[in-house]
Structure 1
Amino acid sequence: MVESDPRRSIPRTDTLLALPEVIAAGETLSQTTIKTIIAEVQSVVRAGEISVAEVAPTIISRLGSRSASSLTPVLNATGILVHTNLGRAPLSPAARQAVLDASGYVDVEMDLVTGKRSKRGTGAKAALLRTCPTAEDALVVNNGAAALLLAVTALRGRGSAVGSATGSGLAYGSTAGPDLTAASGTAVVSPTDIIVSRGELIEIGAGFRLTDLMTTTGARLHEVGTTNRTHLTDYANAIGPESASLLKVHTSNFRVEGFTSTVEVSELRGLADEHNLPLIVDLGSGLFTHDDVLPDEPDIDAALRAGADVVIVSGDKLLGGPQAGLILGRSDAVQRIATHPLARAMRTDKLTLAALEATITHTGNPVHDALHIDPDELRRRTGTLAEAVGATVVPHDGRVGGGGAPGVPLPGWAVELPEDCAAVLRTGDPAIVTRVHQGRCLVDLRCVPAAEDDRIAAAITRVLDSRHD
Structure 2
Amino acid sequence: MSPNPAGTRRPPSVERLLAHESAAGPIAAHGRSAVADAVRAVLDAVRQGRLPLGDEAALLDAAATRLAEEARPSLRPVFNLTGTVLHTNLGRALLPPEAAQAVAAVMTQAANLEFDLDRGERGERDSHVEALVCRLTGAEAAIVVNNNAAAVLLVLNALAMRREVIVSRGELVEIGGSFRVPDVMARAGCRLREVGTTNRTHLSDYDEAIGPRTGLVLKVHPSNYAIRGFTAEASEPELGRLCGERGVPFAIDLGSGNLVDLAAYGLPPEPTVQAALRHAGCVTFSGDKLLGAVQCGLIAGRRDLLARIRRNPLKRALRVDKMTYAALEATLRLYLHPERLRERLPTLRLLTREAADIRAQAERLSGPVSDRLRDRAAVTVEPCLSQIGSGALPVETLPSACLVLRPPPGERKAGAWLKGLAATLRGLPTPVIGRVSEGALRLDLRTLEDEDGFLAAMAVLAPP
Query: Normalising by structure 1, what TM-score?
Result: 0.83
Partner residue, 2:373: none
Q: Compute the displacement of 1:367 (Å).
A: 1.3
Alignment CA distance shift 1:68-1:48 (3 Å): closer
Partner residue, 1:165: none
Partner residue, 2:415: none
Alignment CA distance shift 1:218-1:123 (3 Å): closer
**3-state SS of 2:174 partner:** coil
Distance 1:13 1:55 in 2: 13
Alignment CA distance shift 1:50-1:324 (3 Å): farther
Q: Are residue 402 (structure 1) and residue 407 (structure 2) matched?
A: no
Q: Contact 1:108–1:121 (CA<8 Å) still a contact in 2? A: no
Alignment CA distance shift 1:240-1:381 (3 Å): same
The 5-angstrom pairing of residues 82-121 of structure 1 reads 82-104=86-108, 105-121=110-126
Q: Are residue 369 (structure 1) and residue 331 (structure 2) matched?
A: no
Unmatched segments (≥5 aa) in structure 1: 157-174, 176-190
AA aligned to 1:48 is R
Distance 1:241 1:231 in 2: 21
Distance 1:6 1:300 in 2: 74
Partner residue, 1:302: 275
Q: Aligned match of 1:413 in 401, 410, 421? A: 401
**3-state SS of 1:446 partner:** helix
Q: Contact 1:21–1:60 (CA<8 Å) still a contact in 2? A: no
Partner residue, 2:183: 212
Q: Aligned match of 2:131 in 126, 144, 148? A: 126
Distance 1:152 1:262 in 2: 22
Q: Compute the displacement of 1:121 (Å).
A: 3.3
Distance 1:412 1:65 in 2: 36
Q: Compute the displacement of 1:445 (Å).
A: 1.4
Q: Aligned match of 1:233 in 200, 204, 223? A: 204
Q: Contact 1:289–1:302 (CA<8 Å) still a contact in 2? A: no
AA aligned to 2:59 is V
Q: Compute the displacement of 1:14 (Å).
A: 10
Partner residue, 1:330: 302
Deviations along 1:167-212, one digit per CA (max 9) or x if unpaired, are: xxxxxxxx7xxxxxxxxxxxxxxx5111001111111112121210
Distance 1:39 1:214 in 2: 52
Distance 1:312 1:453 in 2: 37
Alignment CA distance shift 1:233-1:114 (3 Å): closer
Partner residue, 1:160: none
Partner residue, 1:456: 454
Deviations along 1:207-232, one digit per CA (max 9) or x if unpaired, are: 12121011112211111111111111
Q: Compute the displacement of 1:257 (Å).
A: 1.4
Q: Contact 2:11–2:53 (CA<8 Å) still a contact in 1? A: no
Query: Normalising by structure 2, what TM-score?
Result: 0.84
**3-state SS of 1:318 partner:** coil
AA aligned to 1:373 is R
Q: Compute the displacement of 1:4 (Å).
A: 4.0
Partner residue, 1:221: 192
Q: Contact 1:294–1:405 (CA<8 Å) still a contact in 2? A: no
AA aligned to 2:229 is G
Q: Aligned match of 1:202 in 154, 173, 195? A: 173
Q: Contact 2:254–2:284 (CA<8 Å) still a contact in 1? A: yes
Q: Aligned match of 2:256 in 285, 288, 296? A: 285
Larger helix percent = 2
Alignment CA distance shift 1:389-1:25 (3 Å): closer
Distance 1:435 1:244 in 2: 45
AA aligned to 1:56 is L
Q: Compute the displacement of 1:453 (Å).
A: 1.5
Distance 1:6 1:118 in 2: 72
Q: Are residue 145 (structure 1) and residue 149 (structure 2) matched?
A: yes
Partner residue, 2:446: 446
Q: Are residue 352 (structure 1) and residue 352 (structure 2) matched?
A: no
Q: Compute the displacement of 1:463 (Å).
A: 4.4
Partner residue, 1:393: 381
Q: Compute the displacement of 1:72 (Å).
A: 2.1
Name whichever of 370-379 and 401-410 sits farther off: 370-379
Partner residue, 1:185: none
Q: Compute the displacement of 1:343 (Å).
A: 0.5
Deviations along 1:81-107, one digit per CA (max 9) or x if unpaired, are: 111111111222111112211112211
Identity %: 40
AA aligned to 1:138 is A
Give the root-mean-square deviation of aligned CA atoms: 2.8
Q: Compute the displacement of 1:462 (Å).
A: 5.6
**3-state SS of 2:358 partner:** helix
**3-state SS of 1:155 partner:** helix
Q: Contact 2:267–2:352 (CA<8 Å) still a contact in 1? A: no
Q: Give the total of aligned pairs.
A: 425
